[in-house]
């Protein structure tokens, strides 16, 4: 088997397609966007993701794109669905795009001979794969799941900015399978693509769905706990959240990842997945207090930052505040649910004159913030005349700044370092330096 089709070649789907193609599979990407299709067929990446453009070079014999489901299904033996599942008002996920893709796949499976495996990677609520996707595939195709075609739920544990590395070197491969044959087929594919020989956890589709959404919810809880530690450390003599987190991180029951303490979590996955987990728990009659409190603690982080600024500036109306970093994390242009964006809006509501700078997210930020902020093409321009600066996201471009970059440009050199990037002693000698998670004394 060497033919794979990918339904949805956006920020995640195209990376998955490229990784599979680089492993020797013949991959056909299916998408509605003619710009994306044209770019892929020309061997170019239409999206911003580190390493993707380089990976796609030389893959023309293995990777192509089309809007033709029929062609893609007929020329592949396995189909991955990597389509959006937008959040709904009640906190759950909409399956409208998954349903549309399932109908198209099923219609083209109807007369296709042989066994075809369908794999859903998009995040859904527990029960959706069986109750929605399996139902549609059987209803439209007239075929039987587990006999005529296979179905797996196999979500990727990947993050924007490191998708290729995460996909090829995962901590774990999770497979919820309709039948052992389907699980075997998918396992073999992952073993061809994954460079680190990860553990493969196989089980029922329902359990895999719970595991995926529970994992992201747990990570958000860990981040909120770390941010609580940061606040504690700010209130005790000589408090240092990095020292506390380091001690906790050495314990194998806890681990160091996501225990840094800083700004609120954001992005397209963590906030919505935690809300969805809470929604699902309530739906089945469970207690969702832990997930709800995690969300509450996260929402309080922005007002906490604004209060820290007010302690230094007093009335911030009319005062210029520079924000370095707008994306929800480094190495991506995504600003969705970004803490920095929330800071910009909150400061604007207080009457501050906000200047922003980001290596990758400016264009996306402009679509949201409009004319409410000043867009600076460099850190120096952003800091010019500012009375307060926030290092909100530790891009490499900002890590290399020296104290003189702040003192030479700012009206009153005051800096809030949200991630403790700079050397406190060095910077503290030349400007007023504050950091989340560090005691001011």
Q: How far apart are CA 129 and CA 269, in angstroms?
A: 19
Q: How far apart are CA 354 and CA 374, in angstroms?
A: 6
Active site residue: 269, 357, 382, 418, which one?
269
Residue 336 CB partners (closer than 8 Å, separation 6+): 266, 267, 268, 328
Q: How far apart are CA 163 and CA 269, in angstroms?
A: 13
Q: Is residue 145 among the annotated active site residues?
A: no
Tell me how far apart the terminal alpha carbons of the chain are, to the nearest angstrom: 64
Q: Contact 111/122 with Cβ under 8 angstroms?
A: no
Provide the phi-psi class of 360: left if phi over 0, else alpha when psi is between -120 and 50, else beta: alpha
Distance between alpha carbon 40 and the CA centroid of its chain, in Å? 23
Q: Contact 205/129 with Cβ under 8 angstroms?
A: yes
Which of these, 185, 163, 176, 112, lies nearest to 268 by C-alpha position?
163
Q: How far apart are CA 116 and CA 108, in angstroms?
A: 11
Q: What angle do CA 357, 270, 292 make, to 5 degrees?
A: 120
Active site members: 269
């Amino acid at each position: 088997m060497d033919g794979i089709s990918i339904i949805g070649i956006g920020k995640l789907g195209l990376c998955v397609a490229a990784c599979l193609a680089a492993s020797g599979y013949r991959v056909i990407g299916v998408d509605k966007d003619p710009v994306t299709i044209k770019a892929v067929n020309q061997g170019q990446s239409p999206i911003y993701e580190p390493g993707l453009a380089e990976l796609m070079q030389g893959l023309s014999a293995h990777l192509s794109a089309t809007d033709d489901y029929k062609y893609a299904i007929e020329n592949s033996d396995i189909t991955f669905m990597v389509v959006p599942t937008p959040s709904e008002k009640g906190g759950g996920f909409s399956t409208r795009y998954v349903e549309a893709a399932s109908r198209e796949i099923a219609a083209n499976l109807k007369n296709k001979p042989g066994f075809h495996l369908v794999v859903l990677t998009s995040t859904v609520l527990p029960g959706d794969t069986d109750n929605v996707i399996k139902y549609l595939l059987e209803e439209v195709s007239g075929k039987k799941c587990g006999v005529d075609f296979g179905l797996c739920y196999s979500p990727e544990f990947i993050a924007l900015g490191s998708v290729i590395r995460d996909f090829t070197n995962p901590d774990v491969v999770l497979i919820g399978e309709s039948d052992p044959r389907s699980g075997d087929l998918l396992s073999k594919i992952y073993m061809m693509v994954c460079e680190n020989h990860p553990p493969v956890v196989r089980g029922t589709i329902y359990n895999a769905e719970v595991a995926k959404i529970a994992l992201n919810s747990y990570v958000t809880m860990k981040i909120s706990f770390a941010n609580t530690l940061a606040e504690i450390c700010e209130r005790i003599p000589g408090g240092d959240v990095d020292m506390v987190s380091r001690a906790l991180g050495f314990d194998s029951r806890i681990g160091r990842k996501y225990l840094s303490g800083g700004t609120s979590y954001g992005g397209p996955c963590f906030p919505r997945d935690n809300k969805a987990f809470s929604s699902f728990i309530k739906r089945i009659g469970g207690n969702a207090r832990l997930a709800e409190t995690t969300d509450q603690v996260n929402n309080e982080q922005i007002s906490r930052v604004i209060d820290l600024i007010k302690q230094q500036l007093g009335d911030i109306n009319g005062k210029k505040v520079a924000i370095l970093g707008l994306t929800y994390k480094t190495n991506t242009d995504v600003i969705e649910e970004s803490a920095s964006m929330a800071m910009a809006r909150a400061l604007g509501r207080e009457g501050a004159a906000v200047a922003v700078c980001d290596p990758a997210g400016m264009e996306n930020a402009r679509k949201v913030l409009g004319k409410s902020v000043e867009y600076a093409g460099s850190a120096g321009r952003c800091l010019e005349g500012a009375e307060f600066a926030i290092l909100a996201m530790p891009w490499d471009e900002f890590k290399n700044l020296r104290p003189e970059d702040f003192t030479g440009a700012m009206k009153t050199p005051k800096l809030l370092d949200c991630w403790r990037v700079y050397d406190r002693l060095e910077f503290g000698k030349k400007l007023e330096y504050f950091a989340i998670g560090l005691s001011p004394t």
